[in-house]
């Protein structure tokens, strides 16, 4: 990963609020949210230069909320062969989900502030962790679709800890102390945080523009995958014609199948340097119970209740 100071602020970097996160990584505070340096630079470039098409599909989320699962589900739904019995051209067999939905700030705009994306086949599939206000205006104003996935913040925090720890320990660095990581998360100091503000931005927009933004909860996907897959397919304009099609996509995209695939067990993400297998862990609802104390649970629940008060949103589990 490149955690350098964002070059867009080469002359004013000292004026951008900065905090050290996870022991040694600098986070920059920009328009209410925290970013790693390289991600912020790329996000600003994307906001300025990206031009959306009406048939684009965007997967948006905070970190570790079920995004990897959706990176497999959405391309499979959009692929006409994804719901058939023809397994010879299943992209999931040869590609990690990250490759099927490239990221604006981690991949496309990181190396080149204005990449040529004209060669991408239509419909183009993208993903991003940036908050709603940071999206390119063309994404907000076009007819492209936005799918947002979120999760109980307690499970999100625990998943984030395991993900980052697996990366830093692979480089010989010590893992972050749970209490320190928890304090940072509660204060909203983590990449693309604060978590609650991120969620609320997309939630409020989804209420105003339900035809534009589909708001999903990871817990609902786990509890009723068939119903949620149908809902997602209809939103994307690719409704299932019969139950057999849904069942095929459910099988292709089951977490157990994805976890055990050779392509997801070996190799390293070329953009981030993270082992592909680190993107798949337990995927359980309520996994926080094995990792955080009741006191921590109560504190985070209290923050969540206060932040979401009056919004009509409930992420507790």
Among the ranges given (30-39, 109-118, 151-160, 169-178), the one the predictor scored with the smallest mean pLDDT? 169-178
- pLDDT at 69 > cutoff 90: yes
Give pLDDT tens digits for 200-235. Answer: 999 999 999 999 999 999 999 999 999 999 999 999
Q: Which has the higher per-residue pLDDT, 316 or 128?
A: 128
Cα dihedral 289, 65, 75, 269, rounded to 10, equals -90
Give pLDDT tens digits for 2-43. Answer: 444 445 544 345 678 999 888 778 999 999 999 999 899 999
Among the ranges given (47-51, 161-165, 290-294), the one the predictor scored with the smallest mean pLDDT? 161-165
Q: Mean pLDDT over residues 166-183, rounded?
A: 77
Measured CA to CA, the distance from residue 18 to residue 55 in angstroms comes to 37
Extract the runs of DSSP E, i.e. beta strands, from 159-228: 213-217
- Contact predicate 73/253, CB 8 Å: yes
- pLDDT at 57 > cutoff 60: yes
Sheet of 18-21, strands arranged across: 18-21, 25-30, 33-36
Give pLDDT tens digits for 303-313. Answer: 999 999 999 99
| Structure tokens that stand for 273 in this block | 């340097």
3-class DSSP assignment, residue 2: coil
Among the ranges given (69-83, 105-119, 183-197, 268-282), the one the predictor scored with the smallest mean pLDDT? 268-282
Structure confidence at residue 317 (pLDDT):
59
Q: Which pLDDT band holds residue 56 (cuts at 50, 70, 90)?
A: very high
Active site residues: 129
Q: Which has the higher per-residue pLDDT, 301 or 261?
A: 301
Structure confidence at residue 279 (pLDDT):
62
- pLDDT at 157 > cutoff 70: yes
H/E stretch holding 93 reads none
């Amino acid at each position: 990963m490149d955690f350098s100071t964002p070059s867009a602020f080469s002359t004013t970097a000292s004026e951008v609020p900065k905090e050290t996160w996870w022991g040694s990584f600098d986070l920059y505070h920009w328009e209410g949210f925290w970013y790693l340096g390289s991600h912020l630079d790329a996000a600003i470039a994307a906001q300025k230069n990206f031009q959306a098409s009406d048939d684009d599909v965007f997967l948006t989320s905070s970190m570790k909320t079920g995004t990897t699962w959706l990176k497999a589900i959405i391309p499979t739904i959009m692929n006409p062969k994804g719901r058939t019995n023809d397994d010879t051209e299943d992209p999931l067999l040869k590609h990690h989900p990250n490759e099927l939905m490239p990221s604006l700030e981690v991949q496309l705009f990181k190396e080149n502030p204005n990449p040529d994306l004209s060669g991408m086949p239509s419909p183009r599939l993208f993903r991003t962790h940036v908050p709603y206000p940071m999206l390119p205006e063309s994404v907000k104003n076009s007819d492209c679709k936005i799918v947002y996935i979120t999760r109980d913040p307690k499970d999100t925090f625990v998943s984030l800890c395991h993900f980052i720890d697996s990366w830093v320990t692979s480089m010989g660095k010590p893992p972050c102390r749970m209490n320190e990581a928890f304090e940072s998360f509660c204060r909203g100091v983590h990449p693309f945080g604060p978590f609650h503000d991120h969620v609320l931005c997309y939630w409020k927009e989804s209420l105003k523009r339900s035809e534009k933004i589909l708001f999903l909860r990871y817990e609902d996907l786990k509890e009723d995958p068939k119903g949620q897959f149908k809902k997602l397919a209809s939103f994307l304009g690719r409704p299932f014609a019969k139950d057999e099609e849904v069942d095929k996509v459910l099988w292709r995209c089951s977490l157990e199948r994805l976890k055990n695939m050779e392509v997801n067990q070996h190799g390293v993400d070329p953009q981030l340097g993270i082992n592909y297998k680190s993107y798949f862990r337990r995927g359980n609802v309520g996994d926080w119970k094995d990792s955080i104390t009741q006191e921590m649970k109560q504190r985070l629940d209290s923050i969540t209740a206060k932040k979401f008060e009056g919004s009509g949103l409930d992420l507790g589990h």
